[in-house]
Amino acid sequence: MGGFAERLKQAGERYKTVGDGPSGPPPGLYKMQLQSAEIMEKKEGGLQIRWQHFVLDGACAGQVATDFSQLTSESDYPIQLLRKRIARLGFNVPDDLSEYEELVPAIMAAGPTYSGRVIHRNGFANVEIEQLLEAKGPARAAPTAVAPVAASVPAVAQVAPAQEPEDQGETVDVGSAVSFVDRGTTYEGTINSFDGNDALIAVPGETDLLAVPLEDLTVLASAPDTDTPEAEAPADFFDDLVALAEGNSVPVPEGADEAQMVEVLSGYEWTRANLAEHEAAALDAVGIPMVEPAPPPPPRAAPRPAPAAKPKARRTAPNASAKKKAAPKKAKKGARRKAKR
């Protein structure tokens, strides 16, 4: 160890300044301006947008938080988050993915300002845009060079899945091989999708996906061997809701996300019998009630038949074939008897 003592001493000051979380402002709500946005390629070949959010005021003014949006993903959740971000920045959500090549530079040129909540999760920073303040912001200032700030524990219930900056450590995404420990047993599997702060893991031998907090995962070098078929990602009903609204002349707000579509459609009365099966399924999935058909009336009891009239009994003589004897004839008065001879 003696041979490295001097080098370790020289690097000691740098070691002390490095925090436990990602660089940039600590978790919290800030007034921000979009510093830059650009499409770039991930290591495995997919495409993503790198966003840099400049803090405008407060103790962290001049610091920049960096996060990423997935443009190409097998999971629905990152695409839903991207659509929500575009709408909250004041732009129309494109119908075609190819439109992002022109849209991203346009958003960067506008430099909108907004309130944004910085969230640290799994060693990375994410920014949740809460409210647009100005669609076109002021001239941008240069970032302030600051030492990384130690991360505090975020008190946030729902966080976007970890993204993939090129200059940071191990990351997780759909398809990543991971391991985790549950009650002393180590399991390995692949990430199927995300649900808030949890990753849904397909584990060999398990029929159901297992929900595991992101901070409990360890990224593996390769996916474990498994014959278990990959479960389907959670269904996305956004397009069905838009189609249902347009088919019934319900106004669709510009740049609406799924939550806004649910709010709009909830203001109307829907009758299940008048909807196609997939339309009713979409309303059921997002919790919009429908008028159910009235139950059929109970069957009426058949009327009871009138009891048959009983024939009247005929009274007969004890022996109907016997004839009543005729009474003996009486002799007429005044008749003379024959004299006996």
pLDDT, position 151: 38
pLDDT, position 12: 72
CATH fold for domain 11-134: OB fold (Dihydrolipoamide Acetyltransferase, E2P) (2.40.50)
SS3 238: helix
pLDDT beyond 50 at 150: no
Residue 276 identity: A
How far out from the chain centre does Cα 119 lie? 21
pLDDT beyond 50 at 62: yes
Residue 125 identity: A
- Domain boundaries along the sequence of the chain: 11-134, 172-233, 238-286
pLDDT in tens, 249-281: 888 888 778 888 888 888 888 888 888 888 888
Six-digit token string for 163: 């993204």
For residues 213 and 320, what is the distance between their CA atoms, to the nearest angstrom?
106
CATH fold for domain 172-233: SH3 type barrels. (2.30.30)
Min mean pLDDT across 16-30, 82-96, 221-235 is at 221-235
For residues 163 and 40, what is the distance between their CA atoms, to the nearest angstrom?
13
For residues 76 and 234, what is the distance between their CA atoms, to the nearest angstrom?
7
